[in-house]
Structures are given as C-alpha cells and as structure tokens.
C-alpha cells in the first residue's frame, strides 16, 4: 500500500468520529485477499478492531440464518438480498463493493491450453484429465450450468472432482491432483502454487457482485457503516486494483492475452457505471407516504435484477450487473429513484437510467419498467 493511497484513506476517515469498536465481519472467500490487505489501514486509522471470518458464501448465509451474531456481512448480492428479506440485513445500510468474473487455474508451471474463445474452451475442457470447482460456490454453480449449455456436461462428468471451498480448489490444483480449477479470478490469484490460465471467454463470462451489509442485530451499526464507507472509497478501490495488478505482473510473460481482460474482471462496481441525474421535469405521483413508496422502489429494482447501491431517506439507487462480456450483452445500467414528499400521504417519484461505458450496446432505459413495477404495489399513479 503506497503512501498516497494510505493518506487518502486517512483523510476520508478523519472526518468520522466514532468510538473504537470491535466489528465482527462474515466475508466470502471471494474478497479475502483484498480485505486482508485493507483491514490494517482501516483499523489503524479508526481504532476499530476487525474480527473477520472468511468462508464459502452459501455456508456463511446459513450461519446467519441460524442466528449467528455479526456486524457486517460481505456476500454475493443475491444472498444479501435474501437475508434482507428475512430481516437479517438492514436494507438501508448496504453497498456494492466489488465484482469478479469466473476463471480457470492450473498448477504453477503447467502447460497453458487455450481458453480464449468458446470453441477453444470447449476443446480444452474435453481434453482435460480432471477439473474441480466448489460445489456450493457461486462460480461453481454457474460453471456446472455452463457445461450443460455448451453441451458437454455428460462427457465431463467422470472428470469432475467437487471441492468444499475455493481454498480446496486451489490446493487440489497446486498439488497436481486435479488439472483445472474453476473459481473466481481473484481467488485463483490468491491461491498458492496456482497460475491463472485466464477468465472465461467474454461470451460465456458471469460476474459475481459482492455487497457489504450491516446486520440488523449489529452491536455497533455506526462502526459497521464506517467500514462500508471505507470499502467504497476510490482509495480502497486503488488498493484492490493495485493488489491484483501486482499478481498479474508476477506471472508476467505467461499471462499474455489475458492480462487486460482479468484486470477488467475485478473492478469496483462503482467504476462500471455512470451516475443517474434527477430529471428536471414533473414527477409521477403516488397516493402513498414516502416510506411506503421507497420500499416499493427497492422491491421494483430487485425484481428487475438490479443490485441495490444506495438507500437514503429520499433516494434509492440500483446497478444492473453485466450478464455476459464487458462490451456486448446486457447489464451495466444504474437507475436512480428520487422521492418528493407532497403532504397528505402523497409522494412524487422521478426515475433516471444512466448507462455505463461497458456493455452499452445491450443496455436500455428502465424508467417506465420501474414505475410500472411500483404501480403493482402502490396502485396507479395520479
């Protein structure tokens, strides 16, 4: 971590005066390397102490559902959405912090087959002796379905060695017991003895968006929110990016074609989209109070496939993650919903869709869709 980055982090945190607290964090293995690097700076500048438990996202979700105490959870967006619906996560205190694509790893120094195109990937998979992925991991579940989509699931079945976690995937590949390992690119980069063969081809890629959310039962929600604020700063994003860049440089000449693709596959979500701007025209008016309308706005964004980015008293923002590729495909739009209290239990609503520079060819305007979805629970607007 360089001095400029640390200074930027310190400047941001200097404005926050919260008494020191112990923050219990349950975090997916997908953010382990970055969080371990960022944690000391956060602790040093805030005097808070982070107690972090890493694990498979599905297992952590079960622990939370079973009643385990925590202050902050960092999990894939879908899991956090479900926990918010169960009343375990404060839907008003969460944010997207990072995303990562699916990649394939090999033992360090092993032969590097081609996976740059769908056809090349298919040939490499069929020629492989063995392959492993985490059976409950987001990337593993996606990859198992991908094998069905490209028509080789049955032929691959005898070669599959299912692992309990991404860490086990790395160990199986590093030891030479399994030829190919499939997990998120950033997990592959952190696995000792493993080289990243590359991300999946853009046409077949899938991204996991990680969200940080404050637990409803948090002993110190202010401290947990401070950690979210820290993780969503450009300074923290710079640390995350530089961490992965260093690992790519360590593999140097062996990376070739894949380096720029992988670097784009691991980015802060905030860097992928433009910012919505409140429309200057008239608003759509619903005969309901702001709190009810805001809940309808949140639900409408989630139903439409958006990941909630911001929840403020009179504003909600969601990002629709890329479904395939970085240039073509769907996703990448950010939608902002502004609320205007009008009195007499009436609320004005304005919606704006901002398109990102990535994936713009497959994006569209969601304003009408969001308003229509809100009408299903709020009734027709005035």
- pLDDT band per the 50, 70, 90 thresholds, residue 310: confident
pLDDT (0 to 100) of residue 362? 60
Torsion of CA 265, 271, 273, 276, to 10 degrees: 160
122 and 173 in one domain? yes
Task: Examine the fold and report which residue of 231, 255, 270 is the final residue of a domain before the chain moves on.
Answer: 270
- pLDDT band per the 50, 70, 90 thresholds, residue 235: low
CATH at residue 39: 3.40.190.10
249 and 192 in one domain? no
353 and 304 in one domain? yes
Average pLDDT over residues 185-192: 85
374 and 304 in one domain? yes
- pLDDT band per the 50, 70, 90 thresholds, residue 319: confident
pLDDT (0 to 100) of residue 71? 97
- pLDDT band per the 50, 70, 90 thresholds, residue 288: very high
Name 107's bridge partners.
194
Structural domain including 309 reads 273-378
pLDDT over threshold 50, residue 225: yes
60 and 25 in one domain? yes
Task: Examine the fold and report which residue of 152, 178, 204 is the final residue of a domain before the chain moves on.
Answer: 204
Average pLDDT over residues 53-80: 93
CATH at residue 363: 3.30.310.80
pLDDT (0 to 100) of residue 311? 79
pLDDT (0 to 100) of residue 249? 39
Containing H/E element for 337? Answer: strand 334-343
Q: How many domains does the chain have?
A: 3
- pLDDT band per the 50, 70, 90 thresholds, residue 320: confident
d(CA 7, CA 293): 41
93 and 30 in one domain? yes
216 and 200 in one domain? no
Q: Which of 42-46, 171-175, 191-195 is the most confident on average?
A: 171-175
pLDDT over threshold 80, residue 8: no
194 and 224 in one domain? no
Average pLDDT over residues 337-359: 85
| pTM summary value | 0.61
235 and 161 in one domain? no
pLDDT over threshold 60, residue 4: no
Task: Examine the fold and report which residue of 204, 221, 252 is the final residue of a domain before the chain moves on.
Answer: 204
Stretch among 71-75, 255-259, 374-378 having the lowest mean pLDDT: 255-259
- pLDDT band per the 50, 70, 90 thresholds, residue 237: low
Each residue's pLDDT tens digit, 258-286: 333 333 333 334 344 468 899 888 899 99
Residue partners of 252: CB distance under 8 A and separation at least 6: none
Confirm if 182 and 102 have CB atoms less than 8 A apart. yes
282 and 357 in one domain? yes
335 and 304 in one domain? yes
3-class secondary structure, 72: strand
Report DSSP letters for 90-108, one per residue: EEEEEEEEEEEEEEEEEET
96 and 245 in one domain? yes
Average pLDDT over residues 207-228: 91
């Amino acid at each position: 971590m360089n001095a400029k980055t640390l200074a930027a982090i310190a400047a941001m945190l200097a404005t926050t005066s919260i008494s020191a607290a112990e923050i219990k964090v349950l975090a997916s293995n997908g953010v382990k390397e970055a969080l371990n690097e960022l944690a000391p700076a956060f602790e040093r500048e805030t005097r808070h102490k982070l107690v972090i438990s890493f694990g498979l996202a599905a297992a952590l979700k079960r622990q939370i559902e079973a009643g385990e105490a925590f202050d902050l959870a960092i999990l894939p967006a879908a899991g956090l959405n479900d926990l918010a619906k169960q009343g375990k996560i404060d839907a008003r205190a969460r944010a997207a912090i990072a995303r990562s694509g699916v990649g394939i790893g090999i033992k360090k120094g092993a032969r590097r087959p081609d996976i740059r195109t769908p056809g090349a990937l298919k040939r490499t998979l069929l020629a492989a002796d063995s392959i492993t992925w985490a059976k409950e991991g987001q990337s593993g579940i996606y990859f198992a379905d991908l094998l069905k989509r490209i028509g080789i699931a049955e032929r691959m079945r005898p070669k599959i060695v299912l692992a309990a976690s991404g860490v086990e995937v790395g160990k199986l590949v590093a030891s030479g017991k399994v030829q190919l390992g499939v997990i998120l690119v950033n997990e592959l980069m952190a696995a000792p003895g493993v080289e990243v063969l590359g991300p999946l081809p853009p046409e077949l890629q899938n991204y996991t968006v990680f969200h940080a959310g404050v637990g409803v039962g948090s002993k110190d929600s202010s401290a947990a929110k401070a950690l979210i604020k820290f993780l969503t700063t450009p300074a923290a994003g710079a640390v995350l990016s530089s961490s992965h860049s260093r690992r790519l440089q360590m593999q140097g000449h062996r990376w070739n074609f894949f380096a720029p693709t992988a670097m784009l596959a691991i980015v802060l979500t905030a860097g992928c989209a433009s910012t919505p701007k409140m429309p200057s025209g008239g608003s759509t008016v619903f005969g309901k109070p702001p709190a009810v309308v805001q809940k309808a706005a949140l639900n409408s964004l989630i139903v439409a496939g958006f990941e909630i980015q911001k929840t403020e008293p009179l504003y909600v923002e969601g990002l629709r993650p890329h479904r395939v590729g970085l240039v073509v495909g769907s996703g990448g739009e950010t939608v902002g919903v502004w609320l205007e209290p009008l009195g007499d239990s009436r609320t004005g609503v304005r919606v704006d869709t901002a398109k990102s520079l990535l994936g713009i060819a497959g994006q569209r305007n969601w304003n009408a869709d969001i308003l229509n979805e809100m009408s299903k629970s709020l009734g027709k607007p005035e």
